[in-house]
């Protein structure tokens, strides 16, 4: 798949929750992070060194708070999926 993130970028869905898709993009920066997409927009959250909003486009503040709560609750799942996805 080709996207605006780079030639032959591969998306890997980590999980879906409450209408949000949590995913990684291959061939992107090495600092641990997760992308979130919904019908409203998208965001990127750093996972390291701590969970923090990196960018957001179209998501209202209330949704950013919901997404951040989900990331905090599922941090272990995200970290495990990151290690699996980027270990090769």
Residue 53 clears pLDDT 60, i.e. is over it: yes
- Residue 28 has a pLDDT of 82
Q: What is the pLDDT of residues 57-78, one digit of tens each?
A: 999 999 999 999 999 999 999 9
In whole angstroms, what is the distance from residue 79 CA to residue 82 CA?
Answer: 5
- Residue 3 has a pLDDT of 42
Q: Terminal CA-to-CA distance of the chain, rounded, Å? A: 18
User: Whole-number mean pLDDT of the chain?
Assistant: 89
């Amino acid at each position: 798949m080709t996207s605006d993130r780079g030639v032959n970028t591969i998306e890997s869905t980590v999980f879906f929750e409450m209408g949000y898709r949590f995913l990684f993009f291959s061939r992107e920066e090495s600092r641990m992070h997760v992308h979130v997409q919904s019908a409203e927009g998208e965001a990127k959250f750093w996972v390291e060194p701590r969970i923090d909003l990196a960018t957001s486009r179209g998501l209202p503040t209330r949704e950013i708070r919901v997404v951040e709560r989900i990331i905090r609750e599922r941090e272990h799942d995200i970290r495990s999926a990151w290690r699996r996805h980027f270990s090769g």
